[in-house]
Structure 1
Amino acid sequence: MQKSYVQIDLKDNIIVAITNLEKGLVTSVAGTEVTLKEPIKQKHKFALYDFSVGDELFMYGVLIGKATKEILSGTAITVDNVKHASATFSAAKEQFVWQAPDVTKFKNSTFKGYHRKDTKVGTANYWLVIPLTFCENRNIDVLEAALSEKLGYQTKKDFAVDTDALIRNYKAGASKEKLLNTPIIATHEEMAKKRVFPNVDGIKFLKHDGGCGGIRQDSETLCKLLAGYIANPNVAGATILSLGCQNAQISMLHNALKSLNIDGDKPVHYLEQQGSLSERHFIEEAVKVTFLGLIEANEIERKPAPLSKLVLGLECGGSDGFSGISANPALGYASDLLVALGGSPVLAEFPELNGVEQEMINRCATEKDAKKFYNLMRAYSAAAVAVGSGFENNPSPGNIKDGLITDAMKSAGAAKKGGTSPVVAVLDYTEQVTKPGLNLLCTPGNDVESTTGLVGSGCNIVVFTTGLGTPTGNPVAPVLKMSSNTNLYERMNDIIDINAGTVISGEDTIATMGEKILEHIIKVASGEFASKAVLHGNNDFIPWKRGVSL
């Protein structure tokens, strides 16, 4: 049975409205009776006690803000009466003990993936075409037009328009009536059957606006990110287009690949336009080497792999007041299951760990990682302040409208995606996941920048929780969208894969929902069906230039 309001933690002094609450409603929370003095909208919060100016507000058991005005019990918590505040933290670790969940149900489970020479396993099999500078983006467009649909791959929709069928019938002398009745729409499944290379899931074209201009460090970081994409187990090989004079040189990418110890493990073809006879010869060679690469990639077939080979990106975006109650903790439970099975979940979005830093530090397995996380968070916060901003500016207008009033409130809910397991490694942007267990990866809170970073560090599948809805995807890793509420799932079912709103309605517990998430992950990782983002061709790719991005 669905509750109408909830106190998430016994320490909380603000209460979440699960449904719209009317003025005059008498509530009883932890032995305290409160009469609502005004209507409280669904997903928003009301005061359990009277607050004076400066009083601390707690949610999820952590400090999330301070009162800027007197707040009476039973009245709404808003941006007009609360300001952001978060708990202080130090690099010193406290003792941490973890109780792993029961994984008997999944003990003998496997997924069917693509096994690589470096022992990693992909959930997909892609060929990449990558420009080293934005100057090559037009040539990337030419290659995409020449290769994708001709080889049976969809571009931007979950269907393709077969104009060639009309042309063939027209040249054969078909009447206008026959042309009007000619089937020209092919579904994703129909297109897959027509692929020239059935074991290759697609060719992905990673256009970007970097590689030259800016500062040299931006190009170095970009090359490390691109090397991470080539190294990702979902990738069979790559074609690299270079202009020749840009900051991001071929040698820089080659060295980045060597540092990942995969140089030679995958075919990578480097082409430089300024050293080519002409643009025509340049494009011709790019098409040919890509085609030959696809022949080689097609020789790989899916085979069973243990769940320990899953590297799961944990992402959220378009969050609402239910995200931290349903979708995020359910994903956190799935994360804990995966850790217990030897897999590697990865939690990113460092601005959205503001307020729970001490918890993450305490969970670090080593003092070294605790100190690294402490330093990364301090540096990130200082960089934001230096440009006149700060983590308090992280919540978007959509977040605030749907009940996430402060960054600490948003962060405390977002951190739930990481479950409760120990942190085995803390990684800076572009560093690779190498240890089984929960990893922390420094990325911005920006949805696409963060997802781009997760996949660049080795994630072979991503679950993306949302309360407001987003079509976001990734070129290399399948991105599963999970709604925090059933209303969103029903309205945007074309882009949402999983509904965690059943936790809010009482149909599921956090544990049962977490198990359903892992079951869904296994099916998508096995290629049994595609995520909605893959079906729609959502190939969002935005490298982080390491400036301040919240």
Structure 2
Amino acid sequence: MSQAGTVLSEPLIRLNAADNVLIARESLSIGQQLCIGEAAIRIRAQVIAGHKVAACRISRGAPIRKYDTVIGRAARDIEAGDHVHTHNVELIDFERDPGFCLDVRPVEYVAEADRATFNGIVRPDGRVATRNFIGILASVNCSSTVIKNIAAWFTPERLAPYPNVDGVVAFAQTSGCGMSSPSEHFDVLRRTLAGYARHPNLAGVLIVGLGCERNQVADLLDSQGLHVGTSVHALVMQDEGGTRATIEAGIAAIQKMLPLANDIERRPVSASHIKIGLECGGSDGFSGITANPALGAAMDILVRHGGTAILSETPEIHGVEYMLTRRAVTPAVGQKLLDRLAWWERYTRGHNGQFNGVVGPGNQKGGLANIFEKSLGSAMKGGTTPLQAVYEYAEPIDQAGFVFMDSPGYDPVAVTGQIASGANLICFTTGRGSMFGSKPAPTLKLASNTPMFKRLSDDMDINCGLVLDGERSVEEMGKDIFEHILRAASGERTRSELLGLGDHEFVPWHMGIVS
């Protein structure tokens, strides 16, 4: 998977000597003659930047290789110079050797005294935060309007006396009743709510319920080991006297929390306290060449400094899971990942979803033919260090290093789970241009190509297109990303924060029936 020796400045990019497809660095015209090493190729179709071109004749049924990895087979004879995409590529599944632990390499950890630092917020119990919000959680959809109104009362003018508080944010949700309980869906919802309630980036939490829902507030608190106290408050609308009374009681509860929440200061702490949720959305043909491997290089640095990198989006490792199982520290860790993939195969059977091959229209326009090709780039975000553990959705992450958390590929759901698991910063790569943000953990957005970065500069934080432009190597870009992470963790606002995004991206995973 190494890009060593890859020349990115030529019109066609060969990612591996064994590949039979090349990547168009720029848009190509019919009849254009290009030299690839000592060979010449005549382009036989209009090819958009980021799409694939056949490097040689590929017979029908033959495997198509990118990064020396099979991403499909030729649906018909493909001639050198042909455009290679959904019209002539078939997705084929096949058995893969998981090769448990074969690619585990020791990590050269930085001595604790020499580790990078950031200015973090240290909570009384030792947890370290990157932001300082007060959060309001709804136990059920029926209390979501109430929590939104409570949060809306705390305007910038009313929060002005509390300059160290980043805001009061409502995490509204659409479930909590009309669901089977006990059930896996019910457990996941409660685990997600509890993960937010415990998150170090929330100085205080108010939980609001209706009163007759399945997800009762008292049972939620008891089942998750949460206790009402100085930083955790709870209200039930039917007990408080209804909508207006609950809003008034909620405002009063948060007013009492604000002075304590404001009484904090940032101080230097080790980068080992950083937990990064890794996400990608709106991927294109350059994502697996620039942004994703560069983010992976940054995660290798973070892991060496004692931090944690959380890869998720289980459908988006489908087809390349062996890249991770070969890095698993034990066969049990690798098998747990395969077990989650087997669960997804059962869960999606009979549906026309991404796990079964179909990627989104934006991915296709950007040059990705199917889920295997998308997965190939997506997995690169995790870098090269050993896979230490595999977690279920929103399960608390207690293992440092590179880990995996099971989740859908849908960005808001995946990131919600990562934050509930403890991520205090999100790194989000995009090729088409995703307008995503998150709270209470902020999102850094990494662009895969310079034209998109310039077009959407108000939404993008880091231009990984510099790799494609020949101005940075993947390793240099990784160092730049790591430095940006330290600044963001220290309080530097990300583009999505400056735009006010993150109030509507709390989306717990709905995985069960509604009745």
Bin the TM-score by the shorter chain. over 0.9
The 3 A distance-change label for structure 1 pair 355 and 495 is: same
Structure 1 runs (4+) greater than 6 angstroms displaced: 101-104
Deviations 1:50-75 (A, max 9, x none): 12221111112211111111111110
Could you tell me how far 1:88 is from its partner in structure 2?
2.6
Aligned counterpart in structure 2 of residue 544 of structure 1, from 505, 509, 513: 509
How far did residue 17 of structure 1 move? 0.6
For residues 246 and 229 of structure 2, the distance between their equivalents in structure 1, rounded to whole angstroms, comes to 25
TM-aligned CA deviation for residue 388 of structure 1: 5.4
Residue 90 of structure 1 and its aligned partner are, at CA, apart by: 5.0
Which secondary structure does the structure 2 equivalent of 1:363 belong to?
A: coil
Over 3 Å counting, the alpha-carbon distance change for 1:498 and 1:256 in structure 2 is farther
Q: Give runs of aligned pairs for residues 21-40 of structure 1, distance below 5 A.
A: 21-29=28-36, 32-40=39-47
Distance 1:317 1:14 in 2: 24
Q: 1:246 to 1:509 in 2, by over 3 A?
A: same
Partner of 1:144: 151
Question: Equivalent residue for 1:319?
Answer: 283
Report how far residue 116 of structure 1 moved: 2.2
Structure 1 residue 240 and structure 2 residue 240: aligned? Answer: no
Aligned to 2:498: 535
**RMSD of aligned alpha carbons:** 2.2
3-state DSSP of counterpart to 1:320: coil
Counterpart AA for 1:210:
S
Deviation at 1:394, TM superposition (A): 4.2
- The residue number in structure 1 matching 2:3 is none
Structure-2 change in CA distance of 1:278 and 1:221 (3 Å): same
Aligned residue number for residue 371 of structure 2: 407
Q: Which position in structure 1 is the counterpart of 2:437? A: 473
In structure 1, distance between residues paired with 2:466 and 2:94 = 32
Q: How many Å separate the matches in 2 of 1:383 and 1:438?
A: 26
Which of 27, 38, 49 is the aligned partner of 1:42?
A: 49
Partner of 1:162: none
Q: Number of matched residues?
A: 501
CA contact (8 A) 1:241 1:272 kept: yes
Moved more, 391-400 or 433-442: 391-400
**Residues 179-218 of structure 1, C-alpha deviations (whole Å, 9 max, x = no match):** xxxxxxxxxxxxxxxx221121111100111111133233
Counterpart residue type for residue 495 of structure 2: K
Please give the TM-score of this superposition, normalised by the length of structure 2: 0.92
1:353 to 317, 341, 365: 317
Q: 2:179 aligns with which of 190, 214, 227?
A: 214
**Deviation (angstroms), 1:221:** 1.6
The reply on whether 1:396 has 2:360 as its aligned counterpart is: yes
CA distance in 1, matches of 2:128, 2:74: 50
- In structure 2, do the counterparts of structure 1 residues 386 and 266 end up closer, same or farther at CA, with 3 Å as the change threshold? farther
Q: 1:109 to 1:404 in 2, by over 3 A?
A: same
Matched to 1:126, the amino acid is F
State the distance in 1 between where 2:128 and 2:230 align. Answer: 14
2:481 — aligned with what? 517
Secondary structure of residue in 2 paired with 1:346: strand
CA distance in 1 between counterparts of 2:90 and 2:219 reads 45
1:273 paired with 2:245, answer no
8 Å contact from structure 1 (residues 210, 219) kept in 2: no
Q: CA deviation at 1:22?
A: 3.1
Report matched runs for 1:18-97 at 5 Å: 18-29=25-36, 32-89=39-96, 93-97=100-104
Structure 1 distance, partners of 2:512, 2:271, is: 36
Distance 2:455 2:307 in 1: 33
1:45 alignment partner AA: K
Which of 442, 448, 451 matches 1:484?
Answer: 448
> Quick one: distance in 2 between partners of 1:119 and 1:4?
52
Q: Secondary structure at the match of 1:345?
A: strand
* CA shift in 2, pair 1:24/1:280, >3 Å: closer
Question: Hey, what's the Cα distance between the residues in 2 that align with 1:255 and 1:337?
Answer: 39
- The worse-fitting range, judged by mean Cα deviation, of 116-125 and 288-297 is 116-125
- Cα deviation for residue 233 of structure 1 reads 1.6
> 2:431 & 2:108 partners in 1: Cα distance?
26
Conserved in 1, the CA contact under 8 Å of 2:116 and 2:305? no
Counterpart of 1:114 in structure 2 is 121
Aligned residues of 2:352 and 2:358 also touching (Cα < 8 A):
no
1:200 matched to 2:207? The reply is: no
Task: Identify which range, 533-542 or 423-432, moves more after superposition.
Answer: 533-542
Deviations 1:15-64, CA, capped at 9 Å, x for gaps: 10111223344445466543322332211001122122211111122111
Give the gaps of 5 or more residues in structure 2.
1-7
For structure 1, which runs of at least 5 residues remain unmatched after alignment? 153-194
